[in-house]
Amino acid sequence: MTAQPATAQRDHGGNLDAAIARFGGARADWLDLSTGINPVPYPLPPLAPESWAALPDRAAQDALIAAASAFWSVPEGAAVLAVPGASAAIAHIPLLAPAASVHVPGPTYNEHAAAFRRCGWQVTEDPAGTTARVLVHPNNPTGTLHPAPDAAGLSVIDESFCDIAPGASHVALANRPGTLILKSFGKFWGLAGLRLGFVIGDPALVAQLQDMLGPWPVAGPALQIGRAALRDPDWAAGTRARLAEDRARLDRALAPHARSLGGTDLFRLYECDDAAALQTRLARHRIWSRIFPYSTRWLRLGLPAPQDFPRLEDALS
């Protein structure tokens, strides 16, 4: 089965151009809280000139994989593949098995269902009779943590937001046949523009993905930056502590206006009487948020950087 072209633009955060077109201003005027990206990114290390000028070599790729394996405690028998963003893996994973039916419990990140449909799969929220499943863990946008799934067919566990809660990870299942675990570098490390992600799991499936993506899927600078970040556990620990404090501050700021439904330490989901009205109120202060086509009451906010909290709090006062 070959992938078919997408027929429509799917709803996502980060659509700041739409906010500017509607409410005015320049990009520099806006505080974009419509995504779940860490607003205080990992500090970039000095880059060797050859990381820009030469094709990525095997040693650099191996060093990144070793750093990833250690950081996530990848079990023996599981393979690790660096990819140009988790979305690249999401688009290819449905091609790893004959198209049938896939269980994607929702609401959740919409690229998984779209990728499976594009490749001829039937997507359902009923697990009965399915041959594949996708769990976004923690879920986006609700923050729900899923229990470890039973072994059955193709199992995709998207842990793009799980680095804020490493104890909840299901990476220990990565050596199980048919299992693939996705990691995103753009969320916790705040470097979405780097386009770096990882697939951890069944070596046979990982090898197929590697063939699909070709010999140099990840750019040289991304290999070097990713390796440095994954070898910096002190930064990770300090960042988790700061994000937890900022998440609590965000909930306090929204409490008079909306009820918290959960989320993670990188984004929060709120319920209010009119989510579009609250989004508009914030947008008039050049603060962009996320609402959803399937709910008139849900609004999602990413965390501001510490220096931007007063701006959000003033807009809500």
Q: Which helix (H) or strand (E) holds 64?
A: helix 58-71
Exposed, middle or buried by CB within 10 Å (0-12, 13-18, 19+), for 99? middle
134: left (phi over 0), alpha (psi -120 to 50) or beta: beta
User: Residue 10's pLDDT is what?
Assistant: 62
Q: What is the mean pLDDT of residues 35-58?
A: 94
Entry pTM? 0.94
- Residue 14, pLDDT above cutoff 80: no
Give the domains, in start order, of the chain with CATH numbers.
Answer: 16-41+237-316 (3.90.1150.10), 54-231 (3.40.640.10)
Tokens of 101: 């039916």
User: Residue 151's pLDDT is what?
Assistant: 84
- Residue 9, pLDDT above cutoff 60: no
Encoded amino acid at 27, one letter: R
113: left (phi over 0), alpha (psi -120 to 50) or beta: alpha
How distant is the alpha carbon of residue 38 from its chain centre?
A: 11
Encoded amino acid at 4, one letter: Q
Residue 197 pairs in a beta bridge with 83, 184
**CA 258 to CA 268: how far, in whole Å?**
11
CA proximity to 168, closest of 72, 28, 32, 49: 72
**CA 133 to CA 263: how far, in whole Å?**
22
